[in-house]
């Protein structure tokens, strides 16, 4: 213990009569956060990993991960690495002059929300 919290008041005990069991009152929770992690420890990039991540995302629907509002996103999605070859092939399609990409592993992609 540090001096700052040595004399802290104890957390009051709760009971089923209080309407909840434990030290956290459920009425304080206002979000539907849920997290799933799907990864290959060997680093092998295969499509099965994406398929499993999409299944995990689908199973988070009960936590609020649903596109219920057509005009905004709910923040639910998956993150994954794109192969360098994918970017190289796409830059040739969208631009008439050559685009020089950084070496593999040194390219980042961001999704930005900007005012109109």
Q: Which of 81, 79, 83, 99 is nearest to 91 (CA)?
A: 99
Given the residues 21, 22, 24, 33, select the one marked as catalytic. 33
Residue 33 annotated to the active site: yes
**Opening angle at CA 109, ends 112 and 71, nearest 5:** 35
- Give the C-alpha separation, 34 to 77, whole Å: 11
Q: Which residues of 1-39 are buried (b: 16+ CB within 10 A; e: fewer)?
A: eeeeeeeeeeeeeeeeeeeeeeeeeeeeeeeeeeeeebe
Q: Which residues are catalytic?
A: 33
């Amino acid at each position: 213990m540090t001096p700052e919290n040595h004399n802290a008041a104890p957390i009051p005990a709760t009971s089923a009569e209080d309407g909840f069991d434990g030290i956290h009152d459920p009425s304080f929770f206002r979000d539907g956060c849920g997290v799933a992690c799907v990864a290959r420890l060997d680093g092998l990039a295969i499509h099965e990993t994406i398929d499993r991540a999409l299944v995990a995302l689908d199973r988070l629907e009960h936590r609020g991960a649903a596109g219920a509002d057509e005009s905004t996103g709910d923040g639910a999605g998956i993150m994954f690495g794109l192969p360098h070859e994918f970017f190289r092939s796409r830059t040739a399609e969208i631009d008439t002059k050559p685009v020089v990409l950084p070496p593999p592993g040194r390219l980042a992609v961001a999704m930005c929300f900007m005012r109109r």
